[in-house]
Amino acid sequence: MPNGYNTPMEMLARKLDSIARLADSDRAALLDLPHTVRNLPARHDIVRFGDRPTHSCLVLQGWVYRYAALAEGGRQILSFYIAGDVPDLQSLHLHRMDHNLATLTSCVVALIAHDDLRAVLLRNPGLAGTLWRDSLIDAAHYRERITSLGRRQALGRVAHLFCELYLRQKAVGLARGLSCPLVPKQSELADALGLTSVHLNRVLRTLRGRGLVTLSGGILTIEDWDALTEVAEFDQTFLHLANNPAPARETAEAI
């Protein structure tokens, strides 16, 4: 199993524990949920606009992203997903896809049939509530991203995304110290942040020049958490992390 877990559902349980403590009965039901593990290549569409999926996808290893494709070939990346995330949980109730979901890297995923998921949730309303909370938090991420795209300057947008990705990975054990993987290429970060690749490159040079971050070999290291959060105007409330109630700077310094 990827990332040191015995079963795929243990990874989902770890993710859900980061936003709400699972009851023992809900955890047991989750661990028994039927699923099928698949290996997917990088840049592979898992589901496409207009599809009517019958399964939801749990990311076990690698990165996945949600995106909208424009007629002239442009792309807006809407969000990134990491191990433990179920990026298309809404397809359980919204039966026709209104966006695309694709692998950013080679990935290992667990496919969970909607029929099996519905049956488990009907028997375990507490688990249903936790997954509903997860969907609401995903919506909170969108509200924060809209604020960034609409009102933050480029420097703040990039700094904010870095803070978010760091804390999300820390919550599920994928960060070490103040370092975490940063898998997206500059062109992909640009598509997520509404910037050109040239503009993004200038912003990254500024962040490095100020001693706020370093980027090397796909690893982001935050060199000055306080200064980075100040540039980003970052408040972690929108992440709703149950196990990280302290302010963001205290959370980071305590690692």
- The span from the CA of 80 to the CA of 78, in Å, is 7
Look over the chain and give the mean of its residue pLDDT values, rounded to a whole number: 92
Cβ(67)–Cβ(100) below 8 Å = yes
Hey, what amino acid is at 152? R
Sign for the CA dihedral angle at 31, 132, 125, 114 comes to negative
Tokens of 65: 């992203």
Mean pLDDT of 94-123: 96
Q: What is the pLDDT of residue 255?
A: 40
Q: Among 169, 238, 162, which Cα is nearest to 15's? A: 169
Predicted local confidence at residue 7, as pLDDT: 84
31: nearest Cα among 59, 57, 12: 12
Side chain identity at 125, as an amino acid letter? P
pLDDT of 242:
82
Alpha-carbon gap, residue 56 to 111, rounded angstroms: 6
H/E element, 150? helix 125-151
Query: CB–CB of 228/144 below 8 Å?
Result: no
Q: Is the pLDDT of residue 230 over 50?
A: yes
Check residue 105 and give its pLDDT. Answer: 97
β-bridge pairing 179-181 and 100-103: unpaired
The rounded percent of the chain whose pLDDT value lies above 70 is: 93
Q: How far apart (Å, rounded) are the C-alpha atoms in residues 181 and 202?
A: 21
Q: Check pLDDT > 60 for residue 248.
A: no
Reply yes or no on whether the pLDDT at 250 is more than 60: no
Q: Is the pLDDT of residue 1 over 70?
A: no
Structure tokens at 118: 């519905």
Q: What is the C-alpha R_g of the chain?
A: 18
What is the C-alpha separation between 64 and 67, in angstroms, rounded?
10
Strand 219-222 to strand 179-181: parallel, antiparallel, or no bridges (unpaired)? antiparallel
Quick one: angle between helices 8-17 and 24-31, nearest 10?
Answer: 150
Residue 51 confidence (pLDDT) above 90: yes
CB under 8 Å to 146, separation ≥6 — which residues? Answer: none
pTM of structure: 0.91
CA dist., res. 245 & res. 173, Å (int)? 17
Q: What is the mean pLDDT of residues 46-75?
A: 94
Band (8; pLDDT cuts 50, 70, 90): confident
Under the banding of pLDDT at 50, 70 and 90, the label for residue 4 is low
Short-list 202, 200, 227, 201, CA closest to 212: 227
- Is pLDDT of 229 > 60? yes
Phi, psi of 105 (to 5 degrees): -120, 175
Give the integer Cα–Cα distance in Å for 161 and 183.
13
pLDDT for 127-180, tens place per residue? 999 999 999 999 999 999 999 999 999 999 999 999 999 999 999 999 999 999
